[in-house]
Amino acid sequence: MPATLNIDARTLAAIDDLSLVARTVVEGFLAGLHRSPFLGYSTEFSAYRAYTQGDNLRHVDWKVWGRSDELYVKQFEDDTNVRGQIFLDTSASMDFGAGDANKFNYGRVLAAVLAEVMVRQHDAPGLILFGETARQAVPAHASRHHAEEIFQLLANAQARGGTRVDQSLFHLLETMTRRGMAVVISDFFTTDEAARQLLRQLQGQNQEVVVFHVLAPEELDLPYEGESIFQDLESAELIPVHTDDFRREYQRRLAAFCEDLKRECIGLEIDYQQLRTDSPLDLALIEYLDRRAAV
Amino acid sequence: MISLFFTNTLMLAGLAALAIPILIHLLLKRRKKQVPFSTIRFFLQQDEQSSRRRKLRNWLLLALRLLIVSLLVLAFARPYSRQSEASGASRKQHRVVFLLDRSASMLAGGTEGQRWTLAKERMQKTLAGLEADDTAALIECADHANVISGFAPAATIAQVLRDLAPAYGTSSLSEGLQQAVRLLAGNLPNSASTIYLVTDLQKSACRSLSSCPIPQDIEFKVLSVGDLSSPNLALVKFELGAQDGTGPQITLASFSDENSLAFPVEMSADGRPFASQSLSLKAGASTNLSVALPPLTPGWHDLKASLETHDSLEVDNSQYACLLVPEPAHVLVAEPRGSARVFEQASFFLSSALDPTKGSTNSVSGSFHLTSVSPQEIAHELEKPKNEASWNVVILPGLMELPDGIGGSLKAFVQSGGGLILFLDEGMSANRYQSELADLLPVRFGNPDQAPDVSSPWRISLYDTNSLAFAPFRLPNSGDLRIPEFTKRYGLEAVEGAARLAFFDDGVPIVVTRSFGKGRVALVNTSADTGWTDWQKHKTFVPFIHGLTKYAAQKATMESHQENNSFVAGEVSDIDLGLQARLTQFVLKMPDAKEAQFTTDEKGRLKDPNMWLPGIYSLRDKAGHELRRFAVNLPVQESNLEALRPTDFIQQLVRVQESPKQTLAAGIFGSRNDQRQFWTALLLGALILLLVEPFVANRTSV
């Protein structure tokens, strides 16, 4: 397990250039590790076996032949890259959280950092933004240039509208035929079962899914006093609430919601990680890398 | 009708401060702000009841704050309610305590009649004036104050009063007042309390009044009976003589401011007058009167002294005493010279001393009953059956010839409780005495002795006045025993166990005694006649012989029977009859001929025999045998009828602001029945609400 790094998303969010942010985060993160977490490139040695006719002579270990007068061939693991699809919720409910702790900003930084990590280990990052509608923003491709494209798109993305999992999103999912990874960054505040359908669909598409449930401190603590009228960011609906009286009940209900989601994830063998937007990104990266190692 | 008033009306302006909590309420009730939130899905099922409760708490908090301000302002305005007496719509219930003086002075007469009768009449009149819902209580003020009846309807008290009689003792009004105040403690709301003191205000009863403070809310009234000054003559003391033969002495006193006219004083024994005298007393003077008692037969006797005059209080015109005359001691004297002339007989002086009227009167005998016989007859007399002769003492003058066998008879006599007195004389044989009376003699004889010179005889120098034989000489000036002269005697040596009661001036004993069996033997080292001494010619001889004979007879003196027989009315508590009388039933016959039965307790005490009526009481056993008599007389102080004016009496009383027992209600609302203060309760309420307010405020935010 890597040592904990304090990668403060709020500080990074102040930097306009998302690629710079992502590189800074990843470099800082890697510098704190004792060994590289990257796996799967073709240089990875696996085992020796006796030479048989037809083997490529490039793979013969001549040092061993010199010592033992026997021909052995070095075997290497498969060097196939992993496609990593990043699903970022762009519904209006994500645009919540005061200042640096805004959920959408936090999600964007997290997506960028994950893309940078994927590019570094020669995986193919892709980005799918889903909200009112779903669109394949950037297809999965393993190149530096491609990552820059993702950063640019994330920088220009805006959170608005509701969360809906419609056919357009399912069409995109059907194209994910290769085994890969899917990272879902969302608050999962949908009025229907859309988000959960998305998770089930991803699981059905043979994807290793990691869920980052992003919540702002205001959502968790409800730090308001007295009576206020709350307006839903997605539906614009208004409701008067006396937070002093209702805080405890609200927190109970929110905890129950999170618990349901987590249980659902566990049922689908999906990794669930709740992220508080005023907390560092370390947890998210560690969670991702652990999962990546299993692919 | 109850009206509400304020002491500080201006303070009510402080009610304007009610605006403060209202302003606070309005200022803190901020406008609701609109907050954009990611989702309202968790708010949709908000409990509406919670909102309603919160609004209710807000109003409650406002009401609480308004109430606190109101209570504080009202408390400082000091409201009080007063019951309007003019309206008369709700009459106060009256609680009346009658304090009735039952002392003997209430029996005195006056210009309006007898005080006791007047007192009862005035009480009945007051009781009749009470309303149906009023209650009254009755406390007697005798030697001790007692509640005769607790609070009851007036008719009940009137019935109790009808049967009440004076108690003849003294009274302490202060003790009665204390009882009355205690009875009225814990004053009921809407009730008025009154103490009626029914008394003659005799000065002696009006002591220590300051020790009993009376709360001011208790009305105090005096129903005074009798006159301020009532002329009165009284017999204040009746003393029996201190010694046998001394007559009783009575003391008379005048409690008038005028000289009295001549009035007769009469003494009677067992109802028969035996002395009468006319006297007059100056204003405020007192005098003693001594009279000789008539001869009285053995047994109990009533003595009464009375004066005849028309004064204010008749009951103190008599004094009573009772007297037990003991049975005479039967003395047997041996007379060896029976044929000689009386004054030449050896026992002449003994007989003259013990029974001077022997054979010359038919009156009651004195303390001694004397019989003279020849020495030879002594044994015969002593051997007679008890029903024929019962001797207490045998006296032997010095006998030249001691009859044979007399020693055995005397020994048996003394052994069984008799007394033997031996004198010595010329020609007696000491050896014969020694051999015949060997066990009885308290001495061993030496040689006869004669004073060396007639001009310097022996004299008595030392004698034991603690012994009954010399008891008559205990008091100063009761006789000088050093005067008699003694010219002859015997040299003596007291035997072991003998007591030497008197000595000559050279140390030789003159009176030696010893106990033998149940009896006593006394030897006097001189002659019974004037052969060896001139003691018989001196006045100390008779009392000595009397004392010695009583000592030998083991008879107590008459005055010992008089102790604890005289009591003061009302002060008789317990009478100790001795352990031999424990748990025994007795009948006590009263002066009014009524009889009461009593049983003594474990210690033989007659508990509270209720002897309050002056006169003679007779205590008998169940068989009717009289055991004791008691005389009960009025207390001296009751004879002085000088009285206080009611105003002077009331001035001496101490009135206090509040009742002695403070109740919680009185502490909060004040102790005045007609006026109730509310500021304390309001302040208390405000303080309690101030304590509650933070709790409500913490649970409520605008």
Q: Say how far apart CA B243 and CA B239 lie, in whole Å.
A: 11
Whether the per-residue pLDDT at A208 is higher than 50: the answer is: yes
3-state SS assignment for residue B432: helix
Q: Say how far apart CA A144 and CA A165 lie, in whole Å.
A: 30
Whether the per-residue pLDDT at A1 is higher than 50: the answer is: no
d(CA A230, nearest CA chain B) in Å: 5
Amino acid at A198: L
Rounded to 10°, the helix B154-162/B115-128 angle is 160
What residues of B are in contact with residue A226 (Cβ under 8 Å)? 30, 32, 701-702
**Confidence tier at B474 by pLDDT (50, 70, 90):** confident
| B-contacting residues in A 225-254 (Cβ below 8 Å) | 225-235, 237-242, 244-246, 249-250, 253-254
Q: Which of residues B146 and A24 earns the better pLDDT score?
A: B146
**Confidence tier at A37 by pLDDT (50, 70, 90):** very low
The partner residues of B371 in beta bridges, in order of sequence, read B332
Question: In sequence order, what DSSP letters do the residues of chain A get, joined into one string?
Answer: -PPP----HHHHHT-S-HHHHHHHHHHHHHHTSSS------TT-EEEEEE--TT--GGGB-HHHHHHHS--EEEEE---PPPEEEEEEE-SGGGS-SSGGG-HHHHHHHHHHHHHHHHHHTT-EEEEEEESSSEEEEE----SHHHHHHHHHHHHH----S-----HHHHHHHHT--S-EEEEEEE----SSSHHHHHHHHHHHTTEEEEEEEEE-HHHHH----SEEEEEETTT--EEEEEHHHHHHHHHHHHHHHHHHHHHHHHHTT-EEEEEETTS-SHHHHHHHHHHHHH-
User: Phi then psi for B416, rounded to 5 degrees?
Assistant: -90, 10
Beta carbons within 10 angstroms of residue B298's beta carbon? 13
Mutate to test the interface with B, among A105, A245, A253 (most CBs of B within 10 A): A245
Nearest to B318 by CA among B5, B631, B92: B631
Q: Residue B306's pLDDT is what? A: 93
3-state SS assignment for residue B266: strand
Tokens 């049983």 identify what position? B599
Check the CA dihedral B194-B195-B200-B205 and report its sign.
negative
Mean pLDDT of B25-37: 77
Q: What is the DSSP letter of B472?
A: G
Q: Which of residues B112 and A38 earns the better pLDDT score?
A: B112
Whether the per-residue pLDDT at B702 is higher than 60: the answer is: no
Least confident interval from B163-177, B214-228, B596-610, B646-660: B646-660
**Confidence tier at B361 by pLDDT (50, 70, 90):** low
Q: Residue B320's pLDDT is what? A: 92
Q: Say how far apart CA B120 and CA B107 lie, in whole Å.
A: 12
Burial of B200 (0-12, 13-18, 19+ CB in 10 A): buried
Nearest to B100 by CA among B121, B119, B122: B119
d(CA B694, nearest CA chain A) in Å: 17
Residue A160 has which token pair? 């608005």
d(CA A240, nearest CA chain B) in Å: 8
**Confidence tier at A3 by pLDDT (50, 70, 90):** very low
Whether the per-residue pLDDT at B555 is higher than 80: the answer is: no
Mean pLDDT of A262-267: 90
Q: Which residues have CB under 8 Å from A147's CB, separation 6+?
A: A19, A22, A115, A116, A118, A119, A125
Q: Residue B21's pLDDT is what? A: 85
**Confidence tier at B700 by pLDDT (50, 70, 90):** low
| A-contacting residues in B 49-68 (Cβ below 8 Å) | 50-51, 54
ipTM: 0.78
Q: Residue B241's pLDDT is what? A: 65
Residue B443 has which token pair? 């001495």
Q: What homologous superfamily is domain A81-294 in, according to CATH?
A: von Willebrand factor, type A domain (3.40.50.410)
Mean pLDDT of B123-136: 89
Long-range contacts from A255-258, C-beta under 8 angstroms, 24+ separation: A257/B42, A258/A213, A258/A215
Residue B393 · residue B378 · CB < 8 Å: no
**Confidence tier at B192 by pLDDT (50, 70, 90):** confident
Report the residue from A96, A228, A246 with minimal CB separation from B38: A96
3-state SS assignment for residue B164: coil
The partner residues of A134 in beta bridges, in order of sequence, read A130
Provide the residue count of chain A: 295
Q: Where are the domains of chain A?
A: 45-76, 81-294
**Confidence tier at B368 by pLDDT (50, 70, 90):** confident
pLDDT tens for B84-95 read 554 444 567 888
d(CA B54, nearest CA chain A) in Å: 8
pLDDT tens for A94-149 read 999 887 789 998 898 889 888 888 887 777 888 988 887 766 677 887 777 888 88
All structural domains of chain B, each given as residue ranges with its CATH number in brackets, are 2-85+676-699 (no CATH), 93-229+642-672 (3.40.50.410), 233-323 (2.60.40.10), 329-555 (3.40.50.880), 564-633 (2.60.40)
- Is A76 near chain B, with CB under 8 Å? no
Q: What chain A residue is nearest to B48 in terms of C-alpha separation? A: A241
What residues of B are in contact with residue A237 (Cβ under 8 Å)? 40
Q: Residue B98's pLDDT is what? A: 93
Mean pLDDT of B282-286: 90
Mean pLDDT of B483-506: 92
**Between chains, do B37 and A231 touch, taking CB under 8 Å as contact?**
yes
Mutate to test the interface with A, among B30, B32, B33, B43 (most CBs of A within 10 A): B43
Whether the per-residue pLDDT at B556 is higher than 60: the answer is: no
Provide the residue count of chain B: 702
What residues of B are in contact with residue A239 (Cβ under 8 Å)? 40, 43-44, 46
Report the residue from A228, A237, A245 with minimal CB separation from B50: A245
Q: Which of residues B270 and A145 earns the better pLDDT score?
A: B270
Q: Residue B511's pLDDT is what? A: 95
Report the residue from A229, A237, A241 with minimal CB separation from B46: A241
Mean pLDDT of A253-271: 90
Report the residue from A228, A250, A253 with minimal CB separation from B33: A228
Q: What is the DSSP letter of B298?
A: S
How big is chain A by its Cα radius of gyration, in Å? 22
| Average pLDDT value over all residues in chain B | 84
**Confidence tier at B465 by pLDDT (50, 70, 90):** confident
Question: Whole-model pTM?
Answer: 0.51
Q: CA B278 → CA B40, B234, B250, B289, B491, distances in Å? A: 127, 14, 14, 11, 59
Percent of chain A's residues with pLDDT above 90:
8
pLDDT tens for A218-243 read 999 998 887 788 888 888 888 888 88
pLDDT tens for B374-408 read 999 998 888 887 766 688 999 999 988 888 888 99
**Between chains, do B51 and A257 touch, taking CB under 8 Å as contact?**
no
For residues B422, B426, B431, B435, the Cα torsion angle rounded to the nearest 10 degrees is -30
Mean pLDDT of A33-47: 49
Q: Say how far apart CA A109 and CA A19 lie, in whole Å.
A: 9
Whether the per-residue pLDDT at A162 is higher than 80: the answer is: no
Whether the per-residue pLDDT at B318 is higher than 90: the answer is: yes
Percent of chain B's residues with pLDDT above 90:
25
Nearest to B169 by CA among B573, B669, B699: B573
Q: Say how far apart CA B322 and CA B303 lie, in whole Å.
A: 6
Q: What chain A residue is nearest to B33 in terms of C-alpha separation? A: A228
